[in-house]
Structure 1
C-alpha cells in the first residue's frame, strides 16, 4: 500500500518518544552530568566500532572508481553547503537562528552508510561502489565536516569553534583510527555481529537526543520555537532533497555513468548521516547544550524525509528500469 511508504520506522518512533520524554521529564542537575559522561563514552565506542568495521581493502578499492566517488563527495561536501548558503535569505526570514544553523549543519555532514547501501541494492545499482563511497564519505567526514562547520557556522553566528574542530578530531577520529587498527584482531567478531553496531548507533543517538533536548526544553525550546518555523524547516529540507536528487541524476547521465553507477551516485550523494551528525553536534556545540536541541531538529527531520523519498525513488528505479526518477508514480505497492 502507498501508506507503507510514509509510515515511520521503529527508530523514528523511538526518536519521537525520546523527544517527548525529554519534554516531559528533562534530565537536569547531577543526573544530567552523569548522562553526559555516559554519552561521551558511547560516542567513543560508536566510532571505535565504525573503524573496526571498515576493511582496509575497501579503502584501497575506493581509489579505483575515483570518478564516481568524486561525484558523490562533491555533492556531499560542496553542493550541499552551497545550497545551504543559498537558502540563507529564506532561513533568516522563516526560521529561528538556531534552526537555520541546524540546516547549515545538515549540509556539512557525510553520507549515510546502511541506508545508502540498502537503497542502492533495492534499486539495482552498483552496491560495491556504494559500500566504498558511503564508508569513505564517513571517514573523510570525520575531518572535513568539522572544518566546514568551522567555516560556515562560525561565520554565520554559530557557536562552533575551532577548538571544537580539534576536539572532534581527537574524540572521534582517534577512536575510529584505533578501531581500524584493532580490526586485525576484532574484525571477525564485528562482522559476525553487525546488529551490535546498529544498536550502538541507535542507542548513542537516543542518548544524545535525550540530553540535548532536556537542556533545550529547560532553556525554553518549545516556548521560543513557533510551529511556523518547524513547518518551514520541513519545507527547507524537502527543497534540499528536491534540488540535489535531480541534479545528481542529470550529472550522472551528463558525464556518461552507467545506470548502476547513476543509482549509487543518487543515493549516496543525497544522504546525510544522523549516526555521525548527532554525536558530532554534541562535541562541536558542547558549550551551548541549551541550543543543541534546535540545532539537531533539522537533522532529525531531514533523516526521516530522506528515508521516505529514497524508498519511493528506489522502488521506481527497480520497477521502471531507466525511466527518469522525476516521472510520476501512482502504482500501489
Structure 2
C-alpha cells in the first residue's frame, strides 16, 4: 500500500484471500460495467434487483444448502446493513435477544434499535447463556454472535450455541464476516468449519473482505428469507448494489470455490503457524514487556501490548521500518489491552512474515532498553 508516497507492507487488511487486487476480479468488474452500466437505478423490490443479483444469491443459497435446510439468500449493500436488517426485522416486542459480549458494533446497534428485550451474555460463556435462556419467558429467542471475533481472532463456540438454540427453541444468528471465504475446506466459513446443519441457523456473510469486493448477504431457511424480503427495512428502502459488482462477485465466488481459493487458504494456515511461533519466541525473549497473544486460529493474530502509548510507539516503529500495522486502543478494545491487530493475507509470503518478525524484534529490544 502506498501512504504519503511510501510503499508499506500491510498486515492490517481484511482482504484475506488477496482477491481485491486479483486481475480476474478487476476484469469481471469492468465486464460487468460494460454489460450493466453503473448503478442499479432503484431499490430491489422496484427494479434494482437484476439477473446478476439473482445469480449471486442463487450461488450462495446452493453453498449453504448443506448447512441450512431449504436455504435461500438475500443480498445487502454492506454487512452493517445486513446485521441491522436481520436483528431489527426479527427482534419485535415478543422477542428476547441474547447478545454476545464482544459482538461487532453493528450487532450491538441492531439490538439497540430492535423492539426486543436485550440480554448480554459474557464472552463464550455457554453455561451462563444456558441459565439466561432457561429463565426467559419470551415467545421468540434470538442468540446473536460473531463467528470470528474481529479484535481477538478467536472463534465462537458455535456447536454449543446451536445445541442451546435447539434445546430452547431459539434462532442462532451468526455474523461470519471474518470466516466467509477463509474457514472450511471450500471457504464456506464457520458453518463448514464446524460441520453444522440446522434450520435454526441464520448466517450473515460479508463480501467486502475475503471476497474482495463489496456487499453482504443473509443465508437462512426460505421462510426467514421471505420474511426479510417483506420486513427488512434496510433491504426494502435502499437502492440495490451496482449490478457490475454482483457480476464481479460471481467471479469471486468461483475463485473462492476453486484451486486459487484453496491454495490461499492453505497458505494462510502455514503463515499463521509461522507468525505465532515467531511471536511466542519474541514474547519469551522479552518477558519484561508483558506482551501476549490471543487464542486465535484465524488470520487475525493480535499482539496484546497493554498500554496505549506503548502500542502507538510500536506501530510507529513498524511504519518507520516499512510496515503498516496500526495500533488498536480503547474504547475499541478493553482498557489495558491495546494491541497490534496483525492480519494475514493469502498473498503474503513466508519472507513477508519474517520481515514483520524482524522489525518487531528490533522494536521490542528498543522498548525494553527504554523501560
Using structure 1 for the length normalisation, give the TM-score.
0.25
Greater relative contact order (Cα < 8 A, sep 6+): 1
Larger of the two Rg values belongs to structure: 2
Structure (1 or 2) with the greater strand fraction: 2
Structure 2 length as normaliser, TM-score? 0.23
